[in-house]
Structure 1
Amino acid sequence: MLTLAMIVKNESEKLGRCLESVRSIVDEIVVVDTGSVDDTKKIASAYGARVFDFQWVNDFSAARNFALEQCEGDWILVLDADDRIIKASRKEIDDFITNNNSLGRIRITNSFDYDGELRESEANVTRLFPKGLFYTGKIHEQIVSDLPRKNVPIYVYHDGYYKSDKYKRNIKMLELELDEYPDDNYLLYQLGKEYRIIKDFINAEAYLSRCYSGITDIDGYKPQLIIECLYTMLGVGNFEEGLVLIEREARLLSDFPDFYFVSGLFYMELVFSDINKYMRYFPLIEKSYLKCLSIGDTDKYESVKGTGTFLATYNLAVFYETTGDLNKARKYYELSAQYNYKLARKRFEILSG
């Protein structure tokens, strides 16, 4: 028996969309409401959910663990109201449960705003597991288990952070938890990441630097930490330390397109910050984006869609245009436009005018 477990609050606009996408896959739906004043509970009941109330205590794990306790299924799938399943097969889920003594990581596409442009990132997140486990962490909660984690073919789209103010809420909760666990590297990473998203690069650098000083290569989020550090160093203009970081971590991230993508941005900003001093790094801009394209988009890491394809191709075209090589610029704008990237199509039309 497979149970869907959810915690919700005032999600009447999105909950029905989520439940409709999953209703044919699960045997039971458990919805824990943390204080809705809209039609959230009514919508959940209409989809046959067992609905429970839980008083919000500023702790996502507490609410999720209460939801897990109400589940009757042997296995549990966790989703949020602003998730919706894009692709999944009950047969493939059952095969995974039967043949793997492991937890299931589903593939989540997250939409976010990047300087007014809709972009998407993809990550494998543990959301399918046997009954009896529990969460820890007041926010960005993690399931506790020593079992291995393997990818299961469940694909989900999440749009809860697109043009939202949840980042400020997250920062407050993370800071409270960090007061309790001041040396927790994962909390430092998440807090630095939240500050970087809202472009508070000073605070972001402080937390990310503390995290980096204590992280090891076996920590699964180290690749993402390095990416966050580089974008933050770009934000504050910390070029010298950024150069050291790129050189130090290049071997670890040799198959990560996002690393070469941010490296290309870094080298470009570096060179134009002082052309005479940094001109020797100019060829590395082109080299970085070509490396992105040689790797392509990947599902190994949490990655922004397009860093190995159309975004790298677009930035490479911009590079060629700024150097006056318009033939190559048109070529790469056209290649990027083939992915329906509007900025590339617009620029290609201008240059082909």
Structure 2
Amino acid sequence: MYSSFSKEKMKLSTVGIHIIIKDESEWLRQCLDSIKDADEIIVIDTGSQDSSIRIAKSYGARVFYSRWEDDFSTPRNQALQIATTDWIFYLDADEILLSGLTAIKEQINNSDSVAFTVILENLIGTGPQDHLVHRTIRLFRNNPKYRFQGIIHEDIGHSIVKLHPSSYIEDSEIRIRHFGYLPEHIQKKDKIARNERLLKKALQTDPANPYYSYNLGITFCQVGKLIEAKNAMIQALMLVRDDAPYRSTLVKDLSKILLELREIKEVELLLLKETERYEDYPDLRYILGQSFQIQGLWEQAYEQFQLASTFQNNKYVTEAGASSFLVYYKMGEIAQNLGRLEESARLFNQALQHHPTYAPALLGISEVFYELNVPWHEIVTLLKEKVRPSVPSEHYLLLETLVQVGAFEEAIAITPISCLTDSLFFKNYCLAMIHLGRLNEAYHLLQNYIKEHPTTLELEILLQWSAICKWQLNESLQTDFFASLPENLITLYQTINEFLSTGHSPTDLDNNSLSELTASITRQSIVLGQIQLMDKLSELTGQFKLELIKMLYDHGYIFTAAEHLISLSSVQLDDEGLFDLGEILFDKGHYLMAAEMFESILLEEGTYERAKTAAAICYLHLAETSLSDALSRAPDVPSLKEDLQQIRSSIRLLNRTGWHTRWSGRQRRISNGQKHDFAMHDRKE
């Protein structure tokens, strides 16, 4: 290392913190709190109109003004010229130093390095899994030859490696948390529009700069412009140097966009090549696994997820869980689909060991143990052991999981009464109670809640649930209910109440408000599993809308939905309705009729991928039947056996692609609980 550094090590080095601000009062205090013991704090203000400058000065910061010129490097370099400390650590105002200044002092006083990378956590949502982790240079020696470069996403590393070998840059365990990518913060600060403008400006002067093209792709992605994002990132990938530090992240982000665009083969081709270069990058393995899973190549997907779980490093920009709970969950999902239930339970459990409140894994392990005939009370005990609820959000997670799998009694039993003042708890609690048929109890709970919370945002829904409880009991609404209604709803509820009591239709059926309310109550009847009331309410309007039929199907009332669907003509069905009916016919083994449904969708919408797959699998089943018949007549013909084997292999592969509606445990139990079937017949066009 540099011999000149050894003298410097004889004394304790000083460290200064550099921050750029403009109207950052919302975040600045927590930023400055995390570094308040620094030897020097330099704040460069680019035009704040709020209290940011006053806040900065209250922490002893030296505040300087820099005219904003659409260039982030300019104020950064201004701070470098002012700095008096031995070392410089730079932050954004919406970041905090997690490790504390002590960790920085220990790092710089025991090393001859010229710079250090730190671990940066970018929060992108509110969940524990919603963050990206990567390394970046933030701590470096004060050197007048160092300069930031780039008008946006400014970089100091290029300047440092020009003067010193990369071996003089050391990795540290210093951690920063960045809040600036939270959706609400991006929207409030209008960062996306600013970044797009600056990046396009940068590309005008340097069109072959892949770093700018890549970041423009990220900006497009943030506003949902996925085609533009893909094109910008492909351009960047064509131009970027193989040794560029961000190239691996570019590959990851491009592959995620291709996956979102359902360009699955392109994802596979890209990542099969790039995983040779970045073989220990878990995120690439995870995304490649997803592409295989979508294609029905479950064994290959499982292998990639398993590989991802073996890589634990800070070399790359990594999404939380890409080498732990996300891949264990994916492997558990595949094992469950393959019928390997004990293995699936073990994998879901591994996911929960890494992330005890990961909702999909909690749901998955509940479903698998139910399929393994584990009693519900044991499943609940397991969930409690995993989550160890201590705050309302964790109690709510348990409640929501049990409601989703249809364990209504257990959901009620585990809910602390003290939590029922929260509308989310209260709704799920009442939903479970109504599904169990405890309608009187639910009605009184709802009425008391409405009286105590007359301005709740959920008022309209809770009133409907309350009315549904009474009507499902074949009872009329009484004075106490009408007293809780807003004035504009009284007449409407009276009209529906009279119809359900007497069977006499009102004369003003064309009233839009009445029609909308009736439709809304009908939808809530389906949500609550009160199908008898739903049938009665449909008589009020004289028709049963396609939207409600599809809702019945989606909630697991398959046979009831089928009865309504087959009563409609094809012109009354939209693509979703035709697809639902096609699925029902398929599940009953009526492959030719199902194929006709799927084909009719494709005549109108040729890009409906699920319909394409569904039609293909119907024809494969028909071919399978024909070949089986032929083989029964000529059992010694080898070509027939080979063809039949290939067809069955194709059917198995297509069934893995997720073309068919996948039912949750609650939906399956509702479907299995329906006692009646329906007669299939040829539909008259």
| TM-score normalized with structure 2 length | 0.48
> What one-letter code is carried by the residue in structure 1 that aligns with 2:123?
S
Q: Structure 2 CA distance, aligned partners of 1:77 and 1:23?
A: 13
Distance 1:169 1:266, change over 3 A: farther
8 A Cα contact 1:31 1:51, kept in partner: yes
Q: For 1:159, which of 179, 203, 220 is the aligned residue? A: 179
Please state how far the C-alpha of 1:158 moved relative to its aligned partner: 1.1
Please state how far the C-alpha of 1:94 moved relative to its aligned partner: 5.0
Please state how far the C-alpha of 1:71 moved relative to its aligned partner: 1.6
Distance 1:117 1:103, change over 3 A: closer
Aligned-residue Cα RMSD (Å) equals: 2.1
1:120 equivalenced with 2:146 (yes/no): no
Of structures 1 and 2, the larger Rg is shown by 2
Q: For 1:170, which of 168, 188, 195 is the aligned residue? A: 195
Please state how far the C-alpha of 1:183 moved relative to its aligned partner: 0.1
- Superposed, 1:76-225 pairs within 5 Å as 76-88=88-100, 90=102, 93=105, 95-96=107-108, 99-113=111-125, 119-131=130-142, 132=144, 133-143=146-156, 144-146=159-161, 147=164, 148=166, 149-163=169-183, 164-165=186-187, 166-225=191-250
8 A Cα contact 1:93 1:153, kept in partner: no
- 1:142 is paired with a residue whose SS is coil
Distance 1:315 1:282, change over 3 A: closer
> Which has a greater percent of strand?
1
Q: Structure 2 CA distance, aligned partners of 1:92 and 1:134?
A: 21
Q: Structure 2 CA distance, aligned partners of 1:90 and 1:261?
A: 36
1:302 equivalenced with 2:317 (yes/no): yes
Distance 1:100 1:174, change over 3 A: same
Please state how far the C-alpha of 1:97 moved relative to its aligned partner: 5.6
> What one-letter code is carried by the residue in structure 2 that aligns with 1:123?
H
Q: Structure 1 CA distance, aligned partners of 2:301 and 2:89?
A: 43
8 A Cα contact 1:96 1:152, kept in partner: no
Q: Structure 1 CA distance, aligned partners of 2:214 and 2:278?
A: 18
Q: Structure 2 CA distance, aligned partners of 1:34 and 1:322?
A: 56
| Aligned residue-pair number | 341
8 A Cα contact 1:7 1:80, kept in partner: yes
Please state how far the C-alpha of 1:222 moved relative to its aligned partner: 1.5
Q: Structure 2 CA distance, aligned partners of 1:192 and 1:348?
A: 38
Please state how far the C-alpha of 1:157 moved relative to its aligned partner: 1.0
Q: For 1:314, which of 329, 338, 341 is the aligned residue? A: 329
Please state how far the C-alpha of 1:249 moved relative to its aligned partner: 1.5
Q: Structure 2 CA distance, aligned partners of 1:111 and 1:214?
A: 29
Q: State the match for 1:15 in structure 2.
A: 28
Q: Structure 2 CA distance, aligned partners of 1:234 and 1:329?
A: 25
8 A Cα contact 1:29 1:49, kept in partner: yes
Q: For 1:347, which of 354, 364, 373 is the aligned residue? A: 364
Distance 1:170 1:118, change over 3 A: farther
8 A Cα contact 1:4 1:29, kept in partner: yes
> What one-letter code is carried by the residue in structure 2 that aligns with 1:80?
D
Q: 1:233-266: per-residue Cα shift (whole Å, max 9, x none)?
A: 1122323332221221221111111110111112
Segments of structure 1 that go 5 or more residues without pairing to the other structure are: 272-278
1:286 equivalenced with 2:302 (yes/no): yes
Distance 1:316 1:79, change over 3 A: same
Distance 1:100 1:240, change over 3 A: same
8 A Cα contact 1:105 1:127, kept in partner: yes
Q: Structure 2 CA distance, aligned partners of 1:109 and 1:117?
A: 11
Distance 1:326 1:168, change over 3 A: farther
Q: State the match for 1:276 in structure 2.
A: none
> What one-letter code is carried by the residue in structure 2 that aligns with 1:21?
S
Greater RCO, 1 or 2 (C-alpha within 8 Å, sep 6+) = 1
Distance 1:186 1:36, change over 3 A: same
> What one-letter code is carried by the residue in structure 2 that aligns with 1:158?
H
Please state how far the C-alpha of 1:288 moved relative to its aligned partner: 0.9
> Which has a greater percent of helix?
2
Distance 1:198 1:331, change over 3 A: farther
- Select between 161-170 and 104-113 the one with higher mean Cα deviation: 161-170
How high is the sequence identity, in percent, across the aligned residues?
A: 26
Q: Structure 2 CA distance, aligned partners of 1:65 and 1:76?
A: 12
Please state how far the C-alpha of 1:315 moved relative to its aligned partner: 1.9
Q: State the match for 1:47 in structure 2.
A: 59
Q: Structure 2 CA distance, aligned partners of 1:336 and 1:173?
A: 41
| TM-score normalized with structure 1 length | 0.90
- Select between 258-267 and 88-97 the one with higher mean Cα deviation: 88-97
Q: Structure 1 CA distance, aligned partners of 2:211 and 2:77?
A: 20
Please state how far the C-alpha of 1:141 moved relative to its aligned partner: 0.7
- Superposed, 1:197-276 pairs within 5 Å as 197-269=222-294, 271=295
- 2:276 is paired with a residue whose SS is coil
Q: Structure 1 CA distance, aligned partners of 2:298 and 2:363?
A: 26
8 A Cα contact 2:211 2:240, kept in partner: no
Distance 1:282 1:340, change over 3 A: closer
- Select between 192-201 and 251-260 the one with higher mean Cα deviation: 192-201
Distance 1:331 1:51, change over 3 A: same
Q: Structure 1 CA distance, aligned partners of 2:208 and 2:95?
A: 32
Q: Structure 2 CA distance, aligned partners of 1:140 and 1:227?
A: 19
